[in-house]
Amino acid sequence: MSTAVIVKSCTTTACSFNDGGCTALAITVGGTGAKASCTTFVALDARGGLPSANGQVGACKRLECVHNTDLLCTAAEVSIAGEDAECLTYEVR
């Protein structure tokens, strides 16, 4: 059933995986509280990842999100934004 869930956009430019979008092979979404966030976020003195912004969601710990099935994201795509790398597609059941 699982198909690739792409990171449609990410405006968290402080992240080392951001190059006009997400260049990580696969991100993990988690966090606590009212917001879900990308826990793959890292701010290093380097840029890394894929040569182009084709990141996907590899795993998601937010079971209470309507898009979560078996710790995987089933949304068509996700958008990540802000200083806290928030998953804007997150929606509580």
Should residue 73 be labelled a site residue for ligand SF4 when binding is judged by CB under 6 A? yes
Exactly one of 8, 22, 54, 84 binds ligand SF4 (CB under 6 A); which one? 22
- For ligand SF4, give the closer residue by CB, 2 or 87: 87
Q: What's the rounded Cα separation, in Å, for the pair 17 and 26?
A: 11
Should residue 75 be labelled a site residue for ligand SF4 when binding is judged by CB under 6 A? yes
Exactly one of 27, 34, 35, 54 binds ligand SF4 (CB under 6 A); which one? 27
- For ligand SF4, give the closer residue by CB, 32 or 62: 62
**Phi then psi for 88, rounded to 5 degrees?**
-75, -15
Should residue 68 be labelled a site residue for ligand SF4 when binding is judged by CB under 6 A? yes
Q: What's the rounded Cα separation, in Å, for the pair 89 and 27?
A: 14
Q: What's the rounded Cα separation, in Å, for the pair 86 and 50?
A: 21
